């Protein structure tokens, strides 16, 4: 950051006009940069390095700066109610950024803020449901544009939005529309032209589809257990090293997905394969709607590829089972009799130090009536591992009971329970495709999917299952 500050400090501001269309120049000086360096020396975090900005009497500001969060030189636009980053003007290096700024500034700010040459939409920082009178911060006239809607009395639109302000010239089909969308809890501003005043005429099909999907998914994840944490277990099928490796690939895919979505993961049991991959892994996913998303992964996952473990380079097909259960709350009573349990102890494998490896702290519990097996080696304490394993067993029994109830109501076919139900195929050779058997959707971005980009695929499954119900 010191290098960035020194580079900005050495810039020549003489080319900058003092005023542009009512906007006055405020350039950073040497004392400003010295103060930033002193903050860095004191151990403070400096995320933005101001270069200069233009500001008008209404509080609108057009700022050139270095943004550490995006690690680039960029332009920020600030308004009384809103703030956004104009990512279309990000530059990879200071020199090209500086030249671009000159053209932008000399051309004027009014064209960018009020009178667009093209139609576009900006999304602004979330502020929550408005409780104040917008007329206090929105003038009656702005750069020749008249506010022809009283911002103190928002107008409801059919798409869940409220128009809170609108500026236009009476003789032109051009203006600035400000509205608040309660479904997304966000403010939007649209620079409009043509076909005025039709609402949402410019929204492209992709954005509209995304909004519809987001709304639909939020409704689909409203089930009794969807908001709970998820307990996930991955078991490789027959096939030795090849299947073990496939199980580890699935495990990594889910870990990357959790990273993308902000879920926290706690490993409960991990058993490495003899040559590669893993023999078994169980983990709990914590976060909003964790089970709602992961329940779509319950079933058999099939992999077709050229095996890296086959010296002849032949094509192999591998299977892994993914079992997902909602974490059972303490207030849910699950009756388990001691006589129905077979409890084994064994030495934990993997990380944990000599104590873990030398003592039989790991626990395996078999529920004899159902054949369900759970195991845990997450802790050095056998007692704690037993408690975790019992929690896993209760979750599995709870899920089993839910499946029985669903089967009785014919909402889930019997074939969907157990090893016999294949839900998805991952083909890496001779072509690349991931196909989900429930949604019928096929995806060609196999690398991205195996790297955790599975949210859209899961959402497609949830929508398809809802349509069949």
Rounded Cα gap, residues 433 and 429, in angstroms:
9
Average pLDDT over residues 58-75: 76
On average, the pLDDT of the chain sits at: 76
DSSP per-residue string spanning 133-155: -GGGTS-SEETTEEE-S-TTS-E
In this prediction, what percent of the chain has a pLDDT beyond 70? 66
Write the secondary structure of 439-460 as one string of H (helix), E (strand) and C (coil): CCCEECCHHHHHCCCCHHHHHH
- Find tokens 């943004």 and name the residue: 67
75-84, 226-235, 399-408: least confidently modelled range: 75-84
Contacts of 49 (CB under 8 A, 6+ apart): 1, 4, 5, 8, 33, 36, 65, 66, 68
CA distances from 458 to 8, 333, 376, 438, 463 (A): 46, 30, 28, 10, 9
Backbone angles phi, psi at 32, to 5 degrees: -65, -45
Strand order, beta sheet including 23-27? 19-20, 23-27, 48-55, 61-67, 72-78, 83-85
How open is the CA angle 85-29-21, to the nearest 5 degrees? Answer: 55
In 211-298 the beta strands, taken as DSSP E runs, fall at 230-236, 264-272, 278-286
Rounded Cα gap, residues 231 and 221, in angstroms:
17
How open is the CA angle 427-429-434, to the nearest 5 degrees? Answer: 20
Average pLDDT over residues 345-369: 71
**What tens digit of pLDDT does each residue of 247-258 get?**
999 999 999 999
**The predicted structure's pLDDT at residue 373:** 92
Rounded Cα gap, residues 166 and 178, in angstroms:
6
CATH of domain 230-408+418-468: 3.30.70.1660
**What tens digit of pLDDT does each residue of 165-212 get?**
777 766 555 566 676 666 665 666 666 544 333 333 333 444 545 655
Kindly tell me the sign of the dihedral angle through the C-alpha atoms of 196, 197, 200, 201: negative
**What tens digit of pLDDT does each residue of 113-158 get?**
433 333 233 332 233 334 445 666 566 776 667 777 766 666 666 5
Strand order, beta sheet including 230-236? 264-272, 278-286, 230-236, 315-326, 299-306, 422-427, 433-436, 442-443
Domain residue spans in the chain? 2-113, 120-203, 230-408+418-468
Kind of pairing, strands 422-427 and 299-306? parallel
Higher pLDDT, 239 or 71: 239
Residue 331's CB: how many other CB atoms inside 10 A? 5
> Model confidence at 259, in pLDDT bands (50, 70, 90)?
very high
* pLDDT(49) > 80: yes
> Nearest Cα to 256, choosing from 435, 462, 455?
455
CA distances from 126 to 130, 187, 273 (A): 11, 7, 47
**What tens digit of pLDDT does each residue of 223-245 get?**
889 999 999 999 999 888 999 99
Q: Are 247 and 235 in contact (CB under 8 A)?
A: yes
- Find tokens 């058999």 and name the residue: 300
In 2-60 the beta strands, taken as DSSP E runs, fall at 19-20, 23-27, 48-55
Rounded Cα gap, residues 94 and 4, in angstroms:
9
* pLDDT(60) > 70: yes
**The predicted structure's pLDDT at residue 359:** 66
Name, of 54-63, 134-143, 426-435, the range with top average pLDDT. 426-435
Backbone angles phi, psi at 173, to 5 degrees: -95, 50
Average pLDDT over residues 279-286: 94
Contacts of 460 (CB under 8 A, 6+ apart): 436, 439, 441
258-272, 393-407, 424-438: least confidently modelled range: 393-407
Q: Is the overall model pTM greater than 0.85, yes or no?
A: no
Q: Are 185 and 154 in contact (CB under 8 A)?
A: no
Average pLDDT over residues 17-21: 81
């Amino acid at each position: 950051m010191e290098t960035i500050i020194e580079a900005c400090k050495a810039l020549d501001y003489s080319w900058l006009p003092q005023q542009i269309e009512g906007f006055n120049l405020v350039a950073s000086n040497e004392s400003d940069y010295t103060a930033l360096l002193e903050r860095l020396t004191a151990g403070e975090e400096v995320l933005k390095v101001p270069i200069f900005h233009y500001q008008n009497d209404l509080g609108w500001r057009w700022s050139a700066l270095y943004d550490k969060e995006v690690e680039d030189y960029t332009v920020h636009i600030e308004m009384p109610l809103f703030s956004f980053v104009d990512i279309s003007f990000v530059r990879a290096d200071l020199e090209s950024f500086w030249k671009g700024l000159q053209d932008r500034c000399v051309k004027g700010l009014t064209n960018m803020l009020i009178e667009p040459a093209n139609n576009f939409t900006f999304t602004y920082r979330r502020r929550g449901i408005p409780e104040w009178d917008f007329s206090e911060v929105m003038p009656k006239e702005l750069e020749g544009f008249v506010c022809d809607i009283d911002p103190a009395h928002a107008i409801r639109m059919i798409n869940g939005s409220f128009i809170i302000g609108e500026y236009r010239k009476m003789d032109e089909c051009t203006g600035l529309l400000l509205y608040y969308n309660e479904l997304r809890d966000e403010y939007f501003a649209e620079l409009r032209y043509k076909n005025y005043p039709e609402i949402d005429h410019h929204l492209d099909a992709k954005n509209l589809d995304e909004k519809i999907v987001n709304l639909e998914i939020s409704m689909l994840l409203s089930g009794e257990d969807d908001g709970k944490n998820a307990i996930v277990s991955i078991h490789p099928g027959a096939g030795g090293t090849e299947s073990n490796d496939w199980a580890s690939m699935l495990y990594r895919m889910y870990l990357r997905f959790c990273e993308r979505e902000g879920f926290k993961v706690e490993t409960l049991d991990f058993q490495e394969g003899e040559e590669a991959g893993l023999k078994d892994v169980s983990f709990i996913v914590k976060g909003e709607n964790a089970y709602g998303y992961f329940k779509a992964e319950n079933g058999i996952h099939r992999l077709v590829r050229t095996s890296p473990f086959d010296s002849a380079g032949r094509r192999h097909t591998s299977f892994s089972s993914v079992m997902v259960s909602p974490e059972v709350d303490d207030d849910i009573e699950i009756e388990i009799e001691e006589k129905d349990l077979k409890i084994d102890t064994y030495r934990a494998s993997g990380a944990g130090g000599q104590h873990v490896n030398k003592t039989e702290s790991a626990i395996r519990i078999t529920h004899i009536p159902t054949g369900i097996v759970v195991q845990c080696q997450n802790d050095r304490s056998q007692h704690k591992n037993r408690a975790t394993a019992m929690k896993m067993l209760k979750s599995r029994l709870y899920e089993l009971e839910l499946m029985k109830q669903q089967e009785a109501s014919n909402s889930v076919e019997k074939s969907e329970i157990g090893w016999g139900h294949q839900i998805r195929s991952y083909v890496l050779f001779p072509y690349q495709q991931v196909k989900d058997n429930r949604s019928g959707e096929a995806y060609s971005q196999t690398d991205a999917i195996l790297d955790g980009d599975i949210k859209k695929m899961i959402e497609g499954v949830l929508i398809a299952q809802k349509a069949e119900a």
